[in-house]
Each structure stands twice: as C-alpha cells, then as structure tokens.
Homo-oligomer: A and B are copies of this chain.
C-alpha cells in the first residue's frame, strides 16, 4: 500500500519463525535489516545476520524484540537455539537514544531502561489491531488441538467459549462455522445481548454451573480462575478443557488432574500453529507503527 521504509535501519533481536516471515517484508518496503539469533536460510538472504548483539544495535533506529518479551532474568528467545541472548544492562546502554523499541510485552526493568535511556517503547501484544488479528491463528490452533484430542467431531458438539473478548469472538465464530452448538459465557449484559444477536447461546457467568455438565469441550479465554475445583466437580469426566488464557490460565489444573479431566494449557498459540500468518500480521502492522512513531526529519 505504498508504505515506505527506505533508509530505516531495523534490528531484529531474537524471535521465532514469525520473524523469518517478517524480515523479507520489511526489506521489500525498503528497510535495512540486521538480525541476531537466526540461522542463514533462503528467506533471510537479504538480511545481515550477525553473531554479536552489539553489531545489531549499532545505528539501529528500530529494534524488534520477540512477542513473548523476555523472562524475568532477561533471557530472549532465539530461533537458533545455540545462540543465547540476554537483555543485560550493557545491552540496554548500547541501544541508541531515541530508538523505537518494539516488544510483545515488557518487564518492569525494561520499562525503566526505556525511561532512563530515552527509547520509545512500544508493547504491541495487547495492541488491539495485533491482538484481534492474532486471535485468528490462536483460535485455529485451539480448534486444531481440540480436533486432535476429542473422539467426537466439533460439528454437533457442545462447545463452550468462556469470555467474549478478542479471542472469544473469533473462536465462537469458527466453532459455529464448523457446526458446533456454541455456548458463550460472559459477564457483561451488553455482551450477552450481542451473543444472542449473533445466534450463540448466551450464558451469564453466574449461571455457568447450571449448564457446564453439557459441555463436550470448553475453551477458556478469561484470565481468572473460573474453572476452579468446585466448577470442575460439576463437569463430566470426558469434557476437554483448552485453556488459552495467559499463564497460569483460568483452570485449577491440579484439581482437574485429580478429577480425571483432561485440561490443556495452550496460551500463545499464534506463533506455533500458523507462523506464516502470524508473521504476516506483524508485517502488516509493524511498518505502520514505525512510520507513525519515527519523526519524518529523522531520515
């Protein structure tokens, strides 16, 4: 669509398969891309692959970190698992002032560094556009998982979706598209009205206990302990739980195990189930963010 990244220097600091698809797109738009933590492959032919993170940081106007961010110790996921990367104070000090730092979500220490060193820090995992688009591969990954684990078809099954946010909306639509009897559980009256309008069965979360025994499969997208021991005890033993809420999920997994209920924690599916689509989503959104955040006179 005529986005122009010519002259912009971008550093990719770790990442996963999605970034293999993202980098060629950035190059197509004119950017110069340096990456650390990747192995050479045909897709990355025009990327400058470096071994030391310092070579990547130098001159970079934009730095792209993984969607998962780092762990508490600062470790950064790399595609080439032989390369160990860590977001150290030294690395932070080496990032140019004024740089745009794009990351899925940032721990507190990264936020502090951003203030200290005057980066523009963008946490994108929860940005609406990305989160809504990422709901597509997440939902498909969840459905694939359910298909693998269920002895029955999704078609004709009683599928429950807990939560009617970005992921819940997409999941419910796909489940019904396949032919499931779709129940959506929500808390807000307005959501329940919309759920009714779309044609799913609306259930207020306060009534869930009355109908949960009907469920063949439950997809949870709410980051709160909804499926606690008491609720689990009302379920059938052959109901499958797929918990998509951010770790630790919304299920008492210990109680589920004791009760013999199969519960799977599966957050962060987009990068795994459909890395190419997920990479394209990043490639669709990130250039716009860069152009919006980097002042024109920079070039």
Q: Measuring CB to CB, which residues of chain A are less than 8 angstroms from any residue of chain B? A: 17, 128-129, 132-133, 135-137, 140-141, 143-144, 147-148, 150-156, 169-170, 173-174, 176-179, 189-190, 192-194, 196-199, 273-277, 280
| Secondary structure of the A contact surface, majority rule | helix
Known: A144-B144, A197-B135. A275 touches B179 (CB 8 A): no
A12 vs chain B, min Cβ distance (A): 19
Q: What B residues does A154 contact at CB under 8 A?
A: 140
Identical copies of this chain, number = 4
Say yes or no: A277 contacts B156, CB within 8 Å.
yes
Interchain CA distance A82-B234 in the complex, whole Å: 40
When A147-B273, A152-B276 are in contact, do A132 and B177 touch as well, CB less than 8 Å? no
**Would B155 and A136 count as touching, CB distance under 8 A?**
yes
The residues of B that contact A196 with a CB separation of less than 8 Å are: 133
Q: Knowing A176-B177, A177-B179, A179-B199 are in contact, say whether A151-B274 is a contact too (CB < 8 A).
A: yes
Q: Is the CB of B276 within 8 A of A193?
A: no
Contacts of A190 in B (CB 8 A): 128-129, 132
